[in-house]
């Protein structure tokens, strides 16, 4: 991304902050930027160093601070397990400075800031072989994803029959549809909504009420078109189900259950809120061993799931595996704000 060799993140030398900014500008990068090694040999390394940068207009940088508002989103591939953490925990931040009186408009131009991170500790990544996709979120902005392979040395000997048996047992099965559909009087959650956005060719799309009143619900709709993992495809119980993770998904019509994770960040609130949905698809899957793309839709009440108190401005990010939906902004106002008193 910034043209750095993997070894430089551990052994140096890394360019100075100004030189890193120059590299970002030369690559046409703006907003939040995350860079780190593409490969981590676990036998030789015990950390995952990375660089978080922001290159943006000065006015935008004054309003949103990388340390105070930045969030790291980490997704394990291909399972889709997602976690999100603040770049700096709220209890480690210095007290917020009171706003300075402005003397005229903010000067035009670009500013930059650089932070050095250690992602293993920050995201509590399990130090085992696997692939992670990482992104830096700053309210409604998101960096290009950084994919990192944690590589274990090959075993001295691997028995083919044992490897095949373990692979079959680890294929996995779908989770139960969650949250269960139509628990509330408003018909939410729904997995057959009429007002969901059209799904993209590949990935996710979201729609949300731009302004809603606290206590009266905030309808978030989503649609996705993805190739499900075999572990997301609904299949009959195996002959020996014990230890396989098989379960009834709770929807007799579902052909797949897709893991969608919502990451909700809000102004001046701890968090972020990480909400996992298990969304059913009803598209036919002729060959469960080699499924093609399927679509799925959902509608949920974001106020019930995110549970932020009072008036707030928030941004919703959504993840399915390697797919990231464009973030959406929403505002919640209190009933008292609607009165003239």
What does pLDDT average to in each consecutive run of 10 residues of the chain (341 residues)? 94 94 93 97 97 93 89 96 91 70 72 95 96 96 97 81 65 88 84 95 96 95 96 83 76 96 90 94 93 97 92 96 96 89 61
The verdict on 124 and 72 lying in the same domain is yes
The verdict on 119 and 262 lying in the same domain is no
The model carries a pTM of 0.90
* Domain that includes residue 142, residue range: 6-151
The verdict on 180 and 247 lying in the same domain is yes
1 found inside a domain = no
95 found inside a domain = yes
- Residue 320 has which token pair? 């399915």
164 found inside a domain = no
The verdict on 181 and 305 lying in the same domain is yes
99 found inside a domain = yes
- Residue 277 has which token pair? 């949905």
The verdict on 188 and 333 lying in the same domain is yes
100 found inside a domain = yes
CATH number at residue 134: 2.60.40
The verdict on 179 and 83 lying in the same domain is no
The verdict on 209 and 146 lying in the same domain is no
pLDDT at 100: 62
The verdict on 71 and 183 lying in the same domain is no
The verdict on 229 and 262 lying in the same domain is yes
Look-up of token digits 């399972």: 79
pLDDT at 293: 97
Report how far residue 299's alpha carbon sits from residue 206's, in angstroms, rounded to the nearest whole number. 10
The structural domain count of the chain equals: 2
The verdict on 108 and 71 lying in the same domain is yes
167 found inside a domain = no
The verdict on 226 and 140 lying in the same domain is no
254 found inside a domain = yes
240, 243, 280, 245: which is closest to 260 by C-alpha? 280
Report how far residue 271's alpha carbon sits from residue 72's, in angstroms, rounded to the nearest whole number. 11
Look-up of token digits 């990192």: 148
The verdict on 207 and 333 lying in the same domain is yes
166 found inside a domain = no
């Amino acid at each position: 991304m910034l043209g750095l060799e993997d070894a430089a993140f551990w052994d140096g030398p890394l360019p100075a902050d100004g030189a890193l900014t120059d590299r970002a500008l030369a690559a046409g990068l703006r907003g939040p930027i995350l860079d780190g090694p593409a490969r981590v040999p676990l036998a030789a390394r015990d950390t995952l160093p990375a660089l978080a940068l922001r290159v943006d207009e000065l006015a935008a940088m004054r309003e949103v601070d990388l340390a105070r508002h930045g969030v790291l989103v980490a997704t394990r591939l291909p399972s889709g397990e997602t976690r999100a953490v603040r770049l700096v925990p709220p209890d480690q931040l210095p007290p917020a400075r009171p706003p300075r009186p402005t003397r005229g408009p903010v000067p035009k131009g670009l500013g930059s800031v650089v932070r050095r991170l250690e992602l293993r500790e920050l995201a509590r990544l399990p130090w085992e072989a696997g692939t992670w996709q990482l992104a830096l979120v700053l309210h409604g902005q998101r960096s290009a994803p950084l994919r990192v392979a944690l590589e274990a040395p090959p075993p001295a000997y691997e028995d083919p029959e044992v490897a095949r048996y373990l692979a079959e047992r680890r294929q996995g099965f779908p989770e139960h549809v969650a949250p269960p559909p139509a628990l509330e009087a408003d018909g939410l959650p729904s997995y057959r909504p009429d007002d969901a956005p059209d799904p993209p060719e590949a990935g996710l799309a979201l729609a949300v009420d731009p302004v809603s009143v606290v206590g009266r619900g905030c309808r978030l709709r989503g649609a996705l078109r993805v190739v499900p993992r075999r572990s997301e495809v609904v299949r009959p119980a195996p002959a020996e189900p014990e230890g396989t993770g098989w379960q009834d998904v709770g929807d007799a019509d579902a052909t797949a259950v897709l893991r969608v994770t919502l990451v909700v960040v809000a102004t001046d609130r701890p968090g972020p809120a990480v909400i996992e949905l298990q969304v059913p698809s009803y598209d036919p899957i002729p060959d469960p061993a080699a499924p093609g793309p399927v679509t799925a839709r959902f509608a949920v009440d974001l106020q019930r799931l995110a549970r932020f108190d009072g008036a707030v401005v928030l941004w919703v990010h959504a993840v399915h595996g390697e797919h990231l939906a464009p973030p959406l902004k929403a505002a919640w106002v209190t009933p008292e704000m609607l009165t003239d008193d």
